[in-house]
């Protein structure tokens, strides 16, 4: 993990990779059949190699955006046994093997840069990134319509997607010579039971953060992305194509099976005095849903580990050991990485919550019962 002190300003320069990724993905978003044609070509060429690969104990990191999922993805991606999507895959997500070979031969965009979230995290084209949602939205109708429940439970089935998804994971594992698939996707908060049906030995990390700091980060990021979209309107469309609708002018809430609470949150967000309160209800809806699922499904609970972001920052050695034990990843291959993160993990210092006492009281009142279920308070 490399962090710098992020510069807070109103200017944002879209990197060349951003323009390239937008153009390429805009093309493939419009011509879906060509995307799948290329995927089938790659699959056919690699069939003998990937057919032997077993998908064992895939690792899924999820939680509401800004909970700390990116740091944990970045840390675990350094384990030699895992394979995950990288920034370079943004350009051609349907060809995880062939495009990686091409990218390795092209000496462009190798210089590290601060990711556009302006949170001080420095990345490169080899850094892990959440790419999966580009693929999911190709198969799931109305996947990002907040008026429709996004809950995919044990009864959900999409054979075409499942065949594609398994093959895609095998190609990524083959390319990176790992033995375990690792991914981060905030939208998986409503898909855990479905993923457990697809892969019964899945391992889940559910990341949670104290609601005051978490909501402060969500609001900061929302305002930042809105400013960026005004400077670069194509960013709005790019976020839509990439499946990242957590922020911006087309921000969408995750519907956990209760559209009435979504409507309530929307009403509160339209009133300046109640804006923070709306975020508190959103935080509660997501994590209360997760707590209910874990209580109701003993297999899901066994497959899941709750990671409290504050604990990770204050007692990193202990929490990292718990993560590795739960994921069944070999610790001896991770000692140097663990030491690095023990030295460098800390609570974000580039911003602080700036709430009124009324806002703080509202957050605590709305979220306290849910936070207690996760032992945050």
Q: CB within 8 A of 140, min separation 6: which ones?
A: 158, 161
- β-partners of residue 121 are 3
Strand 304-308 and strand 122-123: pairing?
unpaired
Whether residue 84 is contained in a domain is answered as yes
Domain count, the chain: 1
* Class of residue 163 by CB neighbours under 10 A (exposed 0-12, middle 13-18, buried 19+): exposed
Whether residue 258 is contained in a domain is answered as yes
pLDDT for the residue 329: 97
Range of the domain at 69: 16-373
Whether residue 357 is contained in a domain is answered as yes
Stated as kind and residue range, the H or E segment containing 215 is helix 211-231
Whether residue 1 is contained in a domain is answered as no
Confidence class of residue 360 from pLDDT cuts 50, 70 and 90? very high
> What are the tens digits of pLDDT across the range 233-272?
888 888 888 888 899 888 899 999 999 999 999 999 999 9
Whether residue 8 is contained in a domain is answered as no
φ, ψ of residue 215 in degrees (nearest 5) = -65, -35
- Does the predicted TM-score (pTM) go above 0.85? yes
Q: What percent of the chain has pLDDT over 70?
A: 89
Whether residue 2 is contained in a domain is answered as no
Whether residue 273 is contained in a domain is answered as yes
Looking up residue 344, the CATH number of its domain turns out to be 3.40.50
Whether residue 4 is contained in a domain is answered as no
pLDDT for the residue 120: 57
């Amino acid at each position: 993990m490399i962090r710098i002190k992020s510069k807070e300003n109103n200017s944002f320069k879209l990197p060349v990779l951003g323009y390239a990724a937008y153009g390429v993905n805009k093309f493939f978003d419009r011509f879906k059949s060509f995307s799948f044609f290329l995927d089938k070509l790659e699959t056919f060429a690699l069939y003998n190699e990937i057919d032997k690969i077993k998908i064992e104990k895939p690792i899924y990191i999820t939680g509401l955006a800004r909970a700390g999922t990116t740091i944990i993805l970045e840390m675990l991606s350094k384990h030699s046994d895992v394979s995950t999507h990288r920034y370079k895959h943004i350009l051609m997500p349907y060809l995880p093997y062939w495009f990686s070979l091409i990218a390795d031969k092209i000496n462009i965009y190798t210089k590290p840069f601060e990711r556009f979230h302006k949170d001080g995290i420095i990345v490169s084209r080899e850094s892990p990134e959440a790419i999966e949602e580009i693929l999911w939205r190709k198969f799931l109708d109305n996947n990002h319509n907040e008026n429709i429940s996004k809950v995919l439970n044990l009864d959900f089935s999409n054979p075409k997607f499942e065949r594609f998804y398994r093959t895609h994971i095998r190609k990524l594992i083959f390319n990176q010579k790992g033995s375990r698939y690792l991914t981060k996707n905030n939208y998986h908060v409503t898909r855990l039971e479905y993923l457990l049906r697809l892969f019964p030995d899945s391992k889940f990390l559910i990341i949670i953060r104290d609601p005051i700091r978490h909501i402060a980060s969500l609001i900061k990021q929302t305002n930042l992305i809105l400013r960026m979209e005004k400077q670069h309107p194509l960013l709005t469309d790019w976020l839509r194509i990439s499946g990242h609708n957590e922020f911006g002018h087309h921000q969408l809430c995750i519907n956990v099976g209760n559209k009435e609470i979504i409507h309530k949150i929307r009403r509160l967000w339209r009133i300046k005095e109640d804006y923070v309160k709306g975020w508190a209800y959103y935080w509660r809806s997501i994590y209360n849903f997760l707590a209910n699922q874990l209580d109701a499904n003993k297999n899901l609970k066994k497959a899941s580990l709750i990671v409290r972001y504050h604990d990770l920052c204050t007692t990193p050695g202990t929490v990292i050991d718990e993560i590795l034990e739960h994921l069944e990843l070999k610790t001896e291959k991770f000692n140097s990485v663990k030491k690095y993160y023990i030295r460098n993990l800390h609570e974000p210092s580039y911003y602080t919550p700036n709430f009124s006492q009324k806002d703080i009281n509202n957050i605590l009142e709305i979220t306290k019962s849910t936070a207690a279920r996760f032992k945050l308070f």
